[in-house]
Amino acid sequence: MNIRPLHDRILAKRVPEVAKTTGGLFIPDNAKEKPLEAIVVTVGAGKRLENGKIQPIEIKAGDRVLIGKYSGSEIKLDGADHIILGEDDVLAVLEG
């Protein structure tokens, strides 16, 4: 299914966290928190300013980003979990 977010929205897929601690203990699924890292799948055109111009989004598809713990809306596309969130909900872009 093809999907294109509107305006300043971003479609991302959360990066699964490691299920084992550094000490070798396994973390059960019910004790895990939502991952804060995500990979951007696609982005919208940008935010429309008051003067009518569109300000493009700085984030691009393929970027690895940090997102807020409770931000965005969870959706399921082709059986995979994704999240749609606004550009303002992205905390940082991870580089390197």
**Residue 10 binned pLDDT confidence (cut-offs 50, 70, 90):** very high
Question: Nearest to residue 74, comparing CAs of 60, 63, 89, 62?
Answer: 89
**Residue 26 binned pLDDT confidence (cut-offs 50, 70, 90):** low
Q: Which two tokens stand for residue 86?
A: 């606004």
For the chain, the residue count is 96
Domain ranges (residues) in the chain: 9-17+31-94
Rg of the chain, C-alpha, whole Å? 15
The neighbour count for residue 13, using CB atoms within 10 Å, is: 14
pLDDT in tens, 67-80: 888 888 888 888 88
Among 2.30.38.10, 2.30.33.40, 3.30.950.10, 3.40.50.300, what is the CATH number of 9-17+31-94? Answer: 2.30.33.40
